[in-house]
A and B are shown apart, each in its own frame.
Chain A
Amino acid sequence: MPQNDTIAVAMSGGVDSSTAAAILAREGDGSGVSRNTVVGLTLQLWDQTRLAGKHGIPDTPKAGRCCSLDDVYDARRVAEHLGIPYYVVNQEERFERDVVRPFVDEYLAGRTPIPCSLCNNHIKFDQLLKTARSIGAERIATGHYAVNEFDKKRGRWIMKRPADLAKDQTYFLFGLTQEQLAHTLFPLGHMTKPEVRGVARKHGLMLAEKPDSQEICFVPGGDYKQFITAYLEEQGEATSESAGELVAANGEVIGRHAGIHNFTVGQRKGLGVASRVQSGAPLYVLNIDPASHRVTVGADAELATRTLHARQLNWISIAELTEPMRVRAKIRHRHEPAWATLEPGGGDEIIATFDEPQRAVTPGQAAVFYDGDEVVGGGWIV
């Protein structure tokens, strides 16, 4: 049934969300209407000048950084070009509370967080949908590469990997609820990136050739350690509390470190100890113990594990996990999903047992489970 209700498009000023807006405003959502009523919204999430110049953070934010003035300008120009109403919505306080602060706390607790997933769960698909509804739009659209559709047989909204697997963003979207999926459009899900740029050109978008942004949007220059130091200083909190020992797998103390937030499981660089300890073989972070502040290092081979535990689960293609299930599990953004068996682990926890041991299962990252192209669900690795 054709729907011509108002759609709020989250516009970042990049090619993807701009093209999503252009498609809806010029071609419609594919339900049969020739175009949709579209309102452009940009979420103002972080003041890029806030920590500028502190602890090596660049003085002037680079272009292509979310919430930079240049990107807001680009988004507004696209909206003007498409002739759609456009607004900037300030969500800085929520973003700091729900994304930035947890990001910092996770590192301080020895885990490796994914702020993009937190932002999707708490801001983009939660607050944005609320804002959209309050201004009279029942659905939102984003420029994410993912496919969502309603499966009548199961009576559930499902999410699938997109046509362009190199741009697949489903890993970051595993937290979407049924309610959110039902009110979200991903107009780029069936397109490849080159096709998206082609559509952008076809609609005369000046930013069709704008490069993709890759880094964490609120960490200018991409150095999260600088960011954490500068942020904690701004908040008047000490950073050195998590300094501790660097130990070998056999328990031998081989050095000291300045704080556990400087490490992530699988990390090789910046350990501050020579690799001679293990007869010339490079050392990697094997484990970070937030209680003792002890960081254990060892050989690459010791990073491999066969099981992972995940909590704070969200299920998409199934209502809940009641019996063992064969899936492919992805444990970080650039990880090739690997075969595993999922089992309920008691309480709000599941256990995934891999067929082949996987390298660097990292607490704080998401584990997302796939059945073919479908996202079964996911959770946070503990």
Chain B
Amino acid sequence: MMPGAVMLPAGPQEVTAARGAISLSGVTRIFAGSIPAVDHISLDIQAGEFFTLLGPSGCGKTTLLRMIAGFETPDEGRILISGKEMQDVPAHQRAVNTVFQSYALFPHLNVEQNIGFGLRMRGVRKPERKKRVDAMMELLQIGPFAARNAGQLSGGQRQRVALARALVNEPEVVLLDEPLSALDAKLRAELQIELLRMQKRLGMTFIFVTHDQHEALVMSDRIGVMSRGRLQQVGPVLDVYEKPRNVFVAEFLGLSNIWAIEPLGGGMAAAPIGMLRIAAEIGAARMAMIRPEKIWIYNDTHAPQGRENVFPGTVREAIYMGASTQYRIELGGGGFVLALDTNNQAAERSWRPGEAVAVELKAENIMLVEA
């Protein structure tokens, strides 16, 4: 096949034909007798991108991944991989490889044979196969286990074998279905970095499915937040975190304070905690959000006088989390805010439950979100 020579039917949206690019349009999957698992999802993933599908369990992210892999057929919509229509292409003919959550290593084969399985099925001859498998084992530092059975490996080693088994085929797209969720925290952090490095080095498109927002933040170029079969927001990590589009995204990704607001005109709005000045154009928005780390905490006596968006309150809960402390502060009006303060040297001091404080919600840090 010649790269770049693929002709595409004119679609409703621009379709990139680069090797490893994915284009979904209106993809829907409805399991018999229930609400849609995946509901009209349209999404373009660039070649070589590390894209994360983030969402709670049951949001449809795995079903979407399985449709790209070819294990499920969409009831509606189109899937294009590298510009090619995938409707009638069975899983075994797609240049896509999957790393399963359970790893799914073949129990009757050793590590080396597991990794070489895809090449063997495609008829790659033994000398060439061995060369590529050896190179991949070297890259992922699993050479010493080549002759071991999958049952004799630790979780981290199995994860590496599963990854090697996918990467060795040099697929256009690698699909990863929560591949790190079974590992302990330290190993997971190590493998996150390794996975990322591997992806940048090989330049393949990675689609990563996770319910772990921290993992999504660390690894992705862009993320798509999913809920109830729909994409809630797609964008670069920073954008999605800093400018969540709606309440679901704001709450799922990181901590947030969210209030219903009533616009009063002149950049002011009434919220349950009091009057708020909001820098952004309020328009039709009826919900306001601020991240806990964007809230200033003052010692009661040092509180700035006569400024807007400053509220007196009392610390009710202080959770020490090492690098930072999370405070739950009850405001004078009865509402609560969640605030986060770093514990570095620049931090003025920390507060104990019961202390009187004042919090400032700077107008430019308040975001408007959809319900």
A and B physically associate? no
